[in-house]
A and B are shown apart, each in its own frame.
Chain A
Amino acid sequence: MRRTNWLAALLIAPLMLLILGSFLLPVGFALFTAVADREVAATLPRTRAALAAWDGVGLPPEPAFAAMAQELGQALEDRRIGDMAQRLNFERTGMRGLLLRTARAAGRLEAPYAASMVALDARWGEGDTWLLVQRAGGPVTPLYLLRAMDLQRAPGGGVQAVAAEEALYRQLFWRTLGISLAVTALCVLLAYPVAYTIAKLSAPWSAVALMLVLIPFWSSVLVRSTAWFVLLQREGPVNQAMMALGLIDAPVQVVGTRIAVVVALVHVLLPFAVLPMHSVMKRLDGIYLRAAASLGANGVQRFLRVYLPMSMPGVLAGAAMVFLLAVGMYTAPALVGGDRDQMVAWFIAYFMNREVNWGMAAALSAYLLAMTGAAIGLARVLTGGVATIGGRA
């Protein structure tokens, strides 16, 4: 018994290591990045130490000013000032300018620094500026998680909403949720009859039909989304066909709209709904329908009271699959959607590639993860804890 346990552990060890290395560690790291606050502590260690004892009332003592002036100058010389300036600037616009200006002037500043720095820029005479630096000392900060929900720390402590014109992310999450739910609903509605028909087909034809469903997998999401871009553009075949049929007089702008995003996503994700449904329906024994008929149920009753509930695990697995994939979709909305149709994944990429703001990218990822987790939890509750992806038929 013990030996087999050891053997089993040994056999699954590579897989566990792979999961640990490629999944748990990166996810854990990403989640930590969402709250990590390292830049100020790394670049201004002495300033941070001098501010540690400050009670936050009025202005900090002279040693803090002195340390700030020297460390800023040194950081500029060593070209280490960028990350820290960006970090503080993200929390309050204008901080980058203040820091760079002070760093460049560091050589000319002299004691008492409290006076000379304020003379250089009046903002050094404001308690808020110093509070900002003090709070950014790390090691952790709620800044990114708050901002990803359009919140910020209030000057007097506590949490408040950001200015209305800066608010963005809550709407972004609602939009992502809305698009994903619409795509999920459409996929389920379109996939159910397809899966049902394939399950009813006899041997060679069901295999052929299943292959047709899988054909889209032969090309990448990028290719398929680009194809939709071509199809839906103003001079594209969809517009031309509708005009030829007299349905519309002038070409309709579809690319760059929410509809284009939903269409492209439904197309990309449809097979993920068909496959789990089909696998459940295929195993759904015809004997239950015969039993229902022998008990007096007509065709409609047989479908609604026996077939539909018995195929529900497949429907839920397919829906969960589509939803989880839709929530994280990047390529298709980026290609066929407009600025107002982008989903969370696009902003994550934006913060990583353009802004190099890892904290914000990680915070958005964390909420996305929470959203998918909540979706799985909901699916479990709905099925009474029976089915999730690959759940029991």
Chain B
Amino acid sequence: MSAPIVRFRGVSKSYDGRTPVVAGLDLDIARGEFLTLLGPSGSGKTTTLMMLAGFEDPSSGSIELEGKRIDTVPPHKRGIGVVFQNYALFPHMTVARNLAFPLSVRGTSRAEITTRIAKALEMVRLSGFGDRRPQQLSGGQQQRVALARALIFSPSLVLMDEPLGALDKQLREELQLEIRRIHATLGVTIVYVTHDQSEALTMSDRIAVFEGGRIQQLGSADAIYERPANAFVAGFIGENNRMEAVVADSTTLRLSDGTMLATAPHGFSAGERVIACIRPEKVHLAEAGQRAPVTEVVYLGDHCRLRLSYAGLPDFFAKRPSLDGVALPQVGEAVFLAIPPTAVMVFRATPHRE
């Protein structure tokens, strides 16, 4: 891997001088990658992005862009494209003038501006919309213009803060593909903020999961889903049955109601309190095994979701794929669970923090 385009080193940020909003952030962003910052509301994603764009100053630590510290560089000299959640298109300018803005403040020639606008509009499939005002465009069209405006001056880094947050599901998926396509063709580095995990999983090269101002895990989509680093990530990404347990021996956990669960708790000693997580789709129904009464059945077409009461938990979920000729379990019946030892993820009881 060549030198990272952005490098956060021990960056912390606090608005009030006491509670850290971002704490000790170390992050290298590779040139050309699509990195997503994913996390619950208030976890510091926007703050991280705004420090990179130059609208907030880190309380401590340093940020490097292209190998140079940018602490003292004002936003307009950083050359970073930003797409804001609410588009922030200038309402008093036409689409074409909006697109011309970053070029004309740089003194680009008129002829050059005209050709670049035409190309940019073509890229976001809005040729012929140049004379419209932003208010005359739909939400999706406005976001496309915002995208084109952030890209038209050929920045090597583009930041997007929940750019699709205000759009409905269908439009969102359409624009996700479009952003991916643009990323692939232009080769720009994109730092993307979202709290929609499916968006993060489908779009990103790497995902940084934020919580409490810290990166809980940084990795590819499958790594984060299959091998969560701690109980928070396991619970935040995808669905999970979360259970408190005590390590019985090197191959078994004892759940709070005494149920024994077979697994291999690496790196834990007997008697230690842990959290066990099991994804619903990894729970199999069997002819015999651990017994669990069904309290709810939700039919979802390709699969059905069962709410079971198991090991003292009233809400233990299992997913069962729809199978030909096999009847659905009924509420009040009991099913038998087969939980493969590899499906049980074991985490330290206190959230893992560096």
Contact = CB atoms under 8 A, between A and B. Distances in A.
15 contacts: A287-B86, A288-B90, A290-B75, A292-B90, A294-B80, A294-B81, A294-B82, A296-B76, A296-B105, A296-B153, A297-B76, A297-B101, A297-B105, A309-B92, A310-B92
A261 B101 CA distance: 44
A295 B55 contact: no
Interface string B88-105: 111110000000011001
Contact of A292 (B54, B78, B79, B101): B101
Interface string A308-327: 01101000000000000000
B149 interface: yes
A312 B105 CA distance: 21
Interface in B54-94: 54-55, 74-82, 84, 86, 88-92
B84 A287 contact: yes
A295 B101 contact: yes
Nearest to A295: B102
Contacts of B74: 293
A290 B80 CA distance: 12
Given A290-B55, A291-B82, 15 more contacts: A287-B86, A290-B82, A290-B88, A292-B76, A293-B54, A293-B75, A294-B53, A294-B80, A294-B81, A295-B149, A295-B153, A297-B102, A298-B76, A310-B90, A310-B92
A301 B86 CA distance: 22
A101 interface: no
A74 B83 CA distance: 89
B106 interface: yes
Taking residues whose C-beta sits less than 8 angstroms from the other chain, chain A's interface range is 10 to 19
Contacts of A296: 76-77, 79, 102, 105-106, 153
A294 B54 CA distance: 9
Question: What are the 4 tightest A-B residue pairs by CB atom distance, in nearest-first order?
Answer: A295-B102, A291-B88, A294-B82, A293-B75
A305 interface: yes
A181 interface: no
Contacts of A285: 88
Interface string A272-289: 000000000000010110
A306 B75 contact: no
A285 B88 CA distance: 9
A375 to B, nearest CB: 23
Contacts, number: 64
A291 B105 contact: no
Nearest to B106: A296
A125 to B, nearest CB: 72
B88 A305 contact: no
Contacts of B82: 290-291, 294
A312 to B, nearest CB: 8
A306 B76 contact: no
Contacts of A309: 92
Contacts of B105: 295-298, 301, 305
A287 B92 contact: no
A288 B106 CA distance: 18
Nearest to A291: B88
A305 B153 CA distance: 18
Contacts of A312: 92
B104 to A, nearest CB: 9
Most chain A beta-carbon neighbours within 10 Å: one of B74, B79, B84: B84
Contact of B75 (A294, A301, A310): A294
A306 B76 CA distance: 14
Contacts of B77: 296
Nearest to B82: A294
Contact of B76 (A287, A288, A293, A310): A293
Contacts of A293: 54-55, 74-76
Contacts of B153: 295-296
Contacts of B92: 309-310, 312
Contacts of B80: 294
Contacts of A298: 76, 105
Most chain A beta-carbon neighbours within 10 Å: one of B81, B86, B102, B153: B102
A285 to B, nearest CB: 8
A287 B88 contact: yes
A306 B105 CA distance: 12
A296 B108 CA distance: 12
B177 to A, nearest CB: 25
Contacts of B86: 287
Interface string B106-125: 10000000000000000000
A290 B146 CA distance: 13
Contacts of B54: 293
B106 A310 contact: no
Contacts of B91: 310
Contacts of A288: 88, 90
A285 B91 CA distance: 11
A302 B54 CA distance: 16
A298 B54 CA distance: 13
